[in-house]
C-alpha cells in the first residue's frame, strides 16, 4: 500500500514537472512573440498580391481533384517555402537567390540556390538571367519567375542587403569558415570594393583586415560577406552559391547558441535592412521555433547544366533539360519521387532548348 502511494505521489510530481516545463516553453514563446512585435516597426513590410506572384492553376487544379485543399497545396503539402534574396549595393539585382523550404512537421530546412545567371522565363515571357527579374519588378517578379519555372508556390520572401549580412555576423562574434588558398586574394579584393562603395553603394568607412593564410578560421562580417561574393575561382557562380549557403549554415548554428542580448542586438541592427512579406506573427512563430529548426541539406539549381552565350542575355547558366531538373528539385526539397512537371514547365523547357540550339550552346 505504501509503495503504491509513493508511486502515485511520484507520478503526480512527474506530471507537475512536465506541466511546469510546458508552461515555461509557452511563456518563452509568448515573450518571443511580444519581443518581435515590439521590434516589427523596424521592418520594411510589403503585402504581396496573389495575382502578382502567379500560382500555376494546373498545379492547384490537380491537387483539388486529388482531394487536397488548394490553400494547403500553396504550402507544398506541409512545407513552408520562402524566397531569400540577397541584393547588391544598389538593391536592384539579386546577388543571391535561395529557396528555403521548411518541413513544418519535423523542423528540417533545406536550402537550394538558384544560380543568378540561370537562363529562365522571367515570368513575363521574357527570357534572361534569373537575377534580372528582381531588377525588372522587385520581389513579386522574382517570386513569379521561381513559381513559373520551377512548379513552386512560393508566397513569401525576405530580402536582406549585404550590410545586413555583415551586421549579423559581427553581432555573433564572427563565423568559422574554411578559406582556400585560391580564395584569399579575391576575398581581400571584395573587402576593399565593399568598403570603398564600388558597385553603387556608399563608402562604409570600415577597416579592411586582410586574410593572409588558408584554413579554418574566424571571419568577421566584412570578411565573410566578401567571401560570399567570390565568383572567379574554379566553379564560378556554382562555387559562390556553395559559399553563400555555408555562411548561412554557420550563422544558423551560432544564432541557435546565442544569448538574448545578442539576439536583441541582431534584431535591432538587421531588421531595418530587411524587406519581407511575412507578418509579425509568422516572424515571431519562426523565432520561437529557432532552437528546433535545423538546416539539413543544401544544393544548387539547375543540377544538370551547361554554360554559354545566350544572345542578349550574355554568358548564362542553362538547364540541361529544365523538366528533369524540376523533377530533381521536387525530389530534393519535398522527397517527392517521380514528380511530373506541369505543361507550363514543359513549354518553358522546350523554349530554352530551342534558344540553346539557336545560339549553339
pLDDT in tens, 251-260: 888 887 888 7
Bigger pLDDT: 121 vs 160? 121
130 CA to centre of own chain: 15
The pLDDT of residue 205 is: 66
The pLDDT of residue 288 is: 65
Look at residues 111, 112, 101, 47 and name the one whose alpha carbon lies nearest to residue 76: 101
29 exposure class (CB count in 10 Å sphere: 0-12, 13-18, 19+): middle
The pLDDT of residue 237 is: 65
Provide the pairing of β-strand 44-45 with 274-276.
parallel
Residues pairing with 301 in the sheet: 114
pLDDT for residue 36 is more than 60? no
Average pLDDT of the segment spanning 174-187 = 94
Are 164 and 271 contacting, i.e. CB atoms less than 8 angstroms apart? no
d(CA 241, CA 230): 9
d(CA 312, CA 110): 33
Least confident of 131-145, 278-292, 310-324: 278-292
Average pLDDT of the segment spanning 287-313 = 85
pLDDT for residue 223 is more than 90? yes
Average per-residue pLDDT for the chain: 80
- Of all residues in the chain, the percent with pLDDT exceeding 70 is 75
Mark out the alpha helices in 151-235 (DSSP H runs). 162-171, 184-196, 221-229
Q: What is the phi-psi region of residue 274: left when phi exceeds 0, alpha when psi lies from -120 to 50, beta otherwise?
A: beta
Report how far apart, in Å, the C-alpha atoms of 97 and of each of 83, 142, 242, 265, 335 are: 7, 9, 12, 26, 21
pLDDT for residue 9 is more than 80? no
Look at residues 94, 90, 138 and name the one whose alpha carbon lies nearest to residue 118: 94
Q: Most confidently modeled of 61-65, 245-249, 289-293?
A: 245-249
pLDDT for residue 98 is more than 50? yes
pLDDT for residue 30 is more than 80? no
pLDDT for residue 236 is more than 80? no
Are 315 and 308 contacting, i.e. CB atoms less than 8 angstroms apart? yes
pLDDT band at 184 (very low <50, low <70, confident <90, very high): very high
259 C-beta neighbours (distance < 10 Å), count: 7
DSSP 303: S
Report how far apart, in Å, the C-alpha atoms of 68 and of each of 28, 97, 208, 345 are: 35, 29, 54, 22
d(CA 54, CA 57): 9
Average pLDDT of the segment spanning 330-338 = 90
Are 71 and 148 contacting, i.e. CB atoms less than 8 angstroms apart? no
pLDDT for residue 210 is more than 80? yes
- Residue 292 CA neighbour count, 13 Å, CB half: 12
Least confident of 86-100, 147-161, 167-181, 204-218: 86-100
230 CA to centre of own chain: 18
The pLDDT of residue 315 is: 93
pLDDT band at 93 (very low <50, low <70, confident <90, very high): low
Report how far apart, in Å, the C-alpha atoms of 313 and of each of 119, 356, 357, 359 are: 8, 12, 15, 11
pLDDT band at 118 (very low <50, low <70, confident <90, very high): very high
The pLDDT of residue 198 is: 53
Query: Whole-model pTM?
Result: 0.75
pLDDT for residue 298 is more than 80? yes
Amino acid at each position: 500500500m505504501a509503495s503504491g502511494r509513493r508511486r502515485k505521489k511520484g507520478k503526480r510530481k512527474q506530471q507537475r514537472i512536465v506541466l511546469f516545463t510546458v508552461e515555461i516553453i509557452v511563456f518563452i514563446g509568448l515573450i518571443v512573440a511580444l519581443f518581435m512585435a515590439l521590434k516589427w516597426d523596424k521592418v520594411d513590410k510589403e503585402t504581396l498580391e496573389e495575382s502578382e506572384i502567379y500560382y500555376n492553376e494546373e498545379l492547384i487544379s490537380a491537387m483539388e481533384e486529388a482531394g487536397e485543399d488548394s490553400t494547403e497545396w500553396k504550402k507544398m503539402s506541409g512545407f513552408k517555402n520562402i524566397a531569400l534574396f540577397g541584393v547588391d549595393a544598389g538593391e536592384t539585382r539579386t546577388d543571391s537567390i535561395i529557396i528555403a523550404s521548411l518541413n513544418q512537421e519535423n523542423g528540417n530546412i533545406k536550402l537550394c540556390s538558384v544560380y543568378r545567371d540561370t537562363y529562365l522565363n522571367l515570368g513575363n515571357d521574357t527570357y534572361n538571367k534569373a537575377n534580372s527579374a528582381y531588377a525588372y519588378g522587385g520581389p513579386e517578379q522574382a517570386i513569379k519567375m521561381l513559381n513559373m519555372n520551377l512548379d513552386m508556390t512560393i508566397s513569401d520572401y525576405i530580402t536582406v542587403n549585404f550590410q545586413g549580412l555583415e551586421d549579423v555576423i559581427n553581432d555573433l562574434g564572427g563565423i568559422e569558415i574554411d578559406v582556400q588558398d585560391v580564395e584569399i586574394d579575391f576575398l581581400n579584393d571584395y573587402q576593399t570594393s565593399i568598403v570603398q562603395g564600388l558597385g553603387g553603394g556608399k563608402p562604409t568607412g570600415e577597416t579592411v583586415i586582410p586574410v593572409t593564410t588558408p584554413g579554418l578560421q574566424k571571419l568577421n562580417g566584412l570578411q565573410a560577406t566578401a567571401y560570399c561574393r567570390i565568383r572567379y575561382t574554379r566553379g564560378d557562380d556554382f562555387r559562390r552559391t556553395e559559399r553563400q549557403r555555408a555562411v548561412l549554415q554557420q550563422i544558423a548554428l551560432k544564432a541557435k547558441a546565442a544569448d538574448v542580448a545578442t539576439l536583441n542586438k541582431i534584431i535591432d541592427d538587421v531588421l531595418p535592412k530587411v524587406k519581407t512579406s511575412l507578418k509579425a506573427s509568422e516572424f515571431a512563430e519562426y523565432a520561437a521555433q529557432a532552437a528546433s529548426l535545423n538546416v539539413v541539406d543544401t544544393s544548387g539549381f539547375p543540377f544538370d547544366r551547361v554554360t554559354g552565350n545566350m544572345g542578349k542575355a550574355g554568358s548564362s547558366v542553362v538547364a540541361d533539360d529544365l523538366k528533369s531538373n524540376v523533377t530533381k528539385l521536387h525530389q530534393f526539397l519535398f522527397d517527392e519521387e517521380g514528380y511530373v512537371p506541369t505543361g507550363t514547365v514543359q513549354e518553358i523547357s522546350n523554349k530554352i532548348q530551342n534558344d540553346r540550339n539557336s545560339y549553339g550552346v
